[in-house]
Amino acid sequence: MTASLSETLTLVLIEDDDGDAFLVEELLKEADAPPRITWARSLAEGLPKLTADVQCVLVDLSLPDASGLEALEQVLAAAPHAAVLVLTGTSDAHVGVAAVQAGAQDYLVKQDITARLLVRSIRYSMERRRTQRMLVKAEVSAQENARLERGLLPVPLLSGDTIEHTTRYLPGSQGALLAGDFYDTVQTPDGSVHIVVGDVCGHGPDEAALGVALRIAWRTLVLAGRTGDVMLRTMDALLRVERKAPEIYTTLCTATLTPDLTHAELRVVGHPPPVLIRDGVVTAIGEGPSGPPLGIFHDAEWHAIDVPLGEEWSLMLYTDGLIEAAVEQDQLGVDGLVELVREHGHVDLDRLIRHVGTLTDDLAVVLVQRRAP
């Protein structure tokens, strides 16, 4: 039966035995598309022939100027793009196994080679090498994307240790590091502490990119002293420019703590209400939002909610992934979250997230706490 190669290959054979080299060449002539073969009698002669157009290398492990894995290592280094098969004698079959472990795609015992076996081994080896290269590229790309995404996550700008600041960020998409949820914390020179937690509707890379853009815009505006409604209107305008579809909107909650940390000014923009623990009492702040989400109404207005904090308190801002978690087949909801915090007596984010059960959406949480002096 005629052996089959689906394309004409460029192959380098490094073999010092004339008879073995002649056998390989004759066997490959039986292929449907015989490869172009370049023969070298030594490693020194063969290495310069391993150019970028070479797709496969057959190398004997018993050469006059190199033997065993030494020869293989030099071939692999010189031709990282090519599939490499090693040729062994019957008594050296164990060396062939070691060669595969060291990076060769396959090995053949010379005495057992047939045209069909040789062609099939070449074809499979090239496919394995192609797959390996794709996996390496995918891994490198994934690592680069992970570094990029980690670099886009915020580092809080806080001076001193007057408050405890804890965050958790869990994208709903498996394998992702970023989602449409975003958060940030910035302390301005006057001592005020500004916090934001937001949620871009939808899931995917476009929403994640938009979330990053909105977070960076928020930080820039706060550092420039543009807060309150001015900041919200600017972010609303940015959202309309950057979003991929007109139906995409964003909810968010902002908190500005006074320099003495005894009051907070909140804006709940179509977002779940923050949870406050003060004097042992757990409440969801505000009976309703300050106004609609960003990106819906051009003439929207948002009113501030003033909240006395006192000397000792805990304030938690979060996205709806927390309250939409499934607890005993029901969503937790704001009331359920308040009750859960009340049962715990304090907020431990890891324990809280474990307790709420299965998360069905992205999650971002910022917890700030102040202990009594």
Which amino acid, residue 161? D
Q: In the prediction, which pLDDT does 9 show? A: 85
Cα gap 114→148, rounded to integer Å = 51
Triad 75, 78, 79: Cα angle to 5° = 80
Query: 68-72, 91-95, 288-292, 365-369: lowest mean pLDDT where?
Result: 91-95
Burial of residue 217 (number of CB atoms within 10 Å: 0-12, 13-18, 19+): middle
Residue 203 DSSP class: -
Q: Tell me the range of 24-28, 130-134, 200-204 where mean pLDDT is highest.
A: 24-28
Question: 68 pLDDT exceeds 80?
Answer: no
Q: pLDDT tens digits for 239-258?
A: 999 998 999 999 999 999 99
Tokens of 16: 């010092």
The arrangement of strands across the sheet holding 164-170 comes to 164-170, 363-370, 313-318, 275-278, 281-284
Cα gap 237→227, rounded to integer Å = 15
Q: Name the fold adopted by 10-146.
A: Rossmann fold (3.40.50)
Domain ranges of the chain: 10-146, 153-370
Three-state secondary structure call for residue 150: helix
Q: pLDDT tens digits for 319-359?
A: 988 888 765 557 778 888 899 898 887 888 888 888 776 66
Query: 128-137, 184-193, 213-222, 252-261: lowest mean pLDDT where?
Result: 128-137
Strand 10-14 and strand 56-60: the pairing is: parallel
Q: In the prediction, which pLDDT does 362 show? A: 82
Tokens of 318: 């979060």
- 229: phi then psi, degrees, rounded to nearest 5: -65, -30
Question: 16 pLDDT exceeds 70?
Answer: yes
| Residue 3: CA count within 13 A, CB half-sphere | 22
Q: What is the torsional sign of CA 139, 144, 150, 153?
A: negative
Write the DSSP string, 25-42.
HHHHTTBSSPPEEEEESS
Closest to 60 measured CA to CA, from 79, 39, 77, 78: 39
Closest to 288 measured CA to CA, from 307, 273, 308, 309: 273
Tokens of 45: 């002669």
Tell me whether domains 10-146 and 153-370 share a fold.
no
Three-state secondary structure call for residue 333: helix
Beta strands in 279-343 (DSSP E): 281-284, 305-308, 313-318, 326-327, 330-331
Q: In the prediction, which pLDDT does 144 show? A: 60
Check if the beta carbon of residue 258 is closer than 8 Å to that of residue 308: no
Q: In the prediction, which pLDDT does 2 show? A: 47
Cross-strand pairs, 63? 66
CATH number assigned to the domain with residue range 153-370, chosen from the 4 options 3.30.360.10, 3.60.40.10, 3.30.1490.100, 3.40.640.10: 3.60.40.10
Cα gap 316→309, rounded to integer Å = 13
Write the DSSP string, 114-125.
-HHHHHHHHHHH
Residue 271 DSSP class: S
Question: 214 pLDDT exceeds 90?
Answer: yes
